[in-house]
Structure formats: C-alpha cells, structure tokens
C-alpha cells in the first residue's frame, strides 16, 4: 500500500524552512523523513510524517501550499549493495523511478527506508509485490 508524502512549496529565502518546521512542531506533527530540493526562487520540501492528513490541513491553514502524493516505501538492508539489490527488482518489474530519498529507521536496526516516487504508483506496487517485495505502509510510519 502506498504511503502519503506531503510536498510543500517554499520561497527560497531565509526563515521559510524554519517557519514550516515551527508550524509542524507547534501542531505536534512528527517528521519521519524530509527531502528538500531547490531552485533559485523556490524549493520543494517533501515529507513523510506521522499523520499526513492532519499535517496538510495545518500547513494549508498556515498559508503554505501543500499537497499529498502517493509514494512507495521499502526497507533496505543497511549494507553495501542493499539498494542495488532493491533497484534490480525495480528494473526487472519495469518500474520507472522519478525520484527517491532515504532515512535510517531506528526501529528496523540494520535497515534504511527508501521512499520512491514512481511513474505509476498502483501498477508499480503490484509488480513489486509480485516480485516478492513487501512495501511499508502508512501505519509503519505512524509509530516510528
């Protein structure tokens, strides 16, 4: 089952990211993973949080432009070649990766978590499950 990623558009100026994180903290939204991409004028913060729907509402009420995007998440052995083995299965299943990012999972000792945005989430998930992979669920991120 895919998980919900929050994408937030940010002005590329001092204090914007601080304002975003302060709002999340004040609203008791727990951050699980964060990726920040930027251009000259704006950035995109991509986040996995404990409660995606509550976070989007908080962000929109705080005048941030935020949206939910389905992404896939998989645990990867934290060892040389761990990611390569996973990507080989993606290739064999014909899954196209648009972007990805990682974080260490303190509950899954010896593993990292990889977040993948793919071109067709539902079809990719079916193909990867059929290839023997077990995706992480939204519930897996609620109690980290």
- pLDDT recorded at residue 38: 81
Number of H helices, E strands in the chain: 5, 6
Cα–Cα distance, 112 to 108 (Å, whole number):
8
- pLDDT recorded at residue 108: 67
The 10 Å CB-count burial string (b at 16+, else e) for 9-28 is ebeeeeebbeebeebbeeee
Mean pLDDT by 10 residues, the chain (144 residues): 92 91 94 87 91 94 94 90 92 93 75 91 91 87 67
DSSP label at 15?
T
Contact status, residue 29 vs residue 50, Cβ threshold 8 Å: yes
- pLDDT recorded at residue 137: 85
Q: Is 113 helix (H, G, I), strand (E, B) or coil?
A: strand
Compute how many other C-beta atoms are within 10 angstroms of the C-beta atom of residue 109: 8
Which residues, 6+ apart, have CB-to-CB distance to 101 below 8 Å? 33, 35, 46, 114, 115
Kindly list the structural domains of the chain, giving each domain's residue range(s) and its CATH number in brackets, ordered by start. 3-69 (3.30.2130.10), 71-136 (3.30.70.260)
């Amino acid at each position: 089952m895919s998980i919900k990623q929050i994408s937030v558009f940010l002005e590329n100026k001092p204090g914007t990211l601080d304002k975003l994180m302060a709002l999340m903290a004040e609203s008791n939204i727990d951050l699980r993973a964060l990726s920040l991409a930027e251009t000259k004028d704006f950035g995109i913060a991509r986040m996995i949080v404990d409660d995606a729907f509550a976070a989007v509402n908080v962000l929109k009420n705080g005048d941030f432009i935020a949206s939910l995007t389905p992404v896939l998440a998989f645990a990867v052995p934290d060892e040389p070649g761990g990611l390569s083995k996973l990507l080989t299965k993606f290739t064999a299943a014909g899954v196209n990766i648009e972007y990805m990012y990682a974080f260490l999972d303190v509950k899954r000792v010896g593993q990292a978590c990889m977040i993948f945005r793919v071109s067709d989430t539902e079809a990719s998930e079916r193909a990867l499950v059929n290839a023997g992979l077990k995706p992480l669920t939204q519930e897996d991120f609620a109690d980290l």
